[in-house]
Every structure is written in structure tokens, then in C-alpha cells.
Amino acid sequence: MLVYRITGKKYAFDINGTGAAITGGRWNKKGTAVLYTGESKEIALLENIVHTPPMICPDLEILSFEIPDDSITTVLAENLPPNWLDYPSPSILAEITESWIKTGESIALKVPSCIIHSSNNYILNCSHPNYRKDVKLVEQKNFHFDSRLNS
């Protein structure tokens, strides 16, 4: 399956989850290396836009990854606490990811998007033993950011 990541050009080289490990996020604690991706280019863009200050037109790259279909664990929205989509996010979300990483059962964690509830993101476990072998960067190119999206 293909998943997508849209990120700043200066961070596009980081496919090992360093940025997420430094800052932490909705689905990971500081110190945990994961890579946030989306099931479509559109959700990857929206996930990027919500973190971009207004009136900034970032220099972006889009990366397409192939992940193994048989190494995905799914988290359903109905199994999450009612406040799972709040900002800032409840710490239980990062704890779910920490537990999943410890099991080592899969490379990808399929989670619902808090922006578009019918879409999903895929959190990639960069420390999974098969990550480097089974996750393939299949394309990386410039992404044109239409400034009307951020005005």
C-alpha cells in the first residue's frame, strides 16, 4: 500500500522519525521515533497545513512510501476516548502508540485523522526490525503549495 508524507524541504531527508522523536506529537511521545504519513496526498496536505502558521508559504516535498499490507495494526475511533480529537491531544493517544511499538507486531499503525474523520493516517514505527527492509521510499518530489490554502 502507498502512504504519503508532505513535509518541509529541509526535513524531507528524515525518514527515520527524528523530528517526531524530538518534538513528540498526537500519536507519539518525545523520544519515540515514528514517521507520520497519510493514506492520501490530500490528508497528508491537511495534516501539514494545520501546523503551518498563517501567511507562510512553505517550501514542501511530497514523499510516497510503500508499506507492507500485512504489517498494519488498526486503531478504530470508536475504541478511543471521546476527547481523542481535542487539541492539545490527550496523552492516552501517545500511550497507545508506545504500547503498540513495544509489541513489535507491525510496522504501521492505522489511526483516524482528527481533521477529516473519514480519513486515516499511518504512523510508521521507525525502530521496527523490518522498517528499513520493508518500507520503500518510491518517490520524492517538490510539492506545489497553493498560497490560497493558507491565507
φ/ψ region of 39 (left if φ > 0, alpha if ψ in -120 to 50, else beta) reads alpha
Alpha-carbon distance of 5 to 121, in angstroms, equals 10
pLDDT, the chain, mean: 95
Residues 6+ apart with CB under 8 A from 67: 1, 2, 3, 107, 108, 122, 124, 134, 135
What pLDDT, in 10s, does the model give residues 98-148? Answer: 999 999 999 999 999 999 999 999 999 999 999 999 999 999 999 998 888
Give the pLDDT confidence score for residue 49 in this predicted structure.
87
When pLDDT is cut at 50, 70 and 90, the band that residue 151 belongs to is low
When pLDDT is cut at 50, 70 and 90, the band that residue 55 belongs to is low
Say if CB 3 and CB 38 are below 8 A apart. yes
Cell numbers at 113, concatenated: 485523522
Residues 6+ apart with CB under 8 A from 87: 114
% of the chain residues with pLDDT over 70: 98
Residue 63 has a CB neighbour count (10 Å cut-off) of 21
CATH numbers and ranges of domains, the chain: 2-150 (3.90.175)
Helix (H) or strand (E) holding 128: none
Q: Would you say residue 29 has pLDDT above 90?
A: yes
Residue that is written with C-alpha cell 482528527 in the block: 114
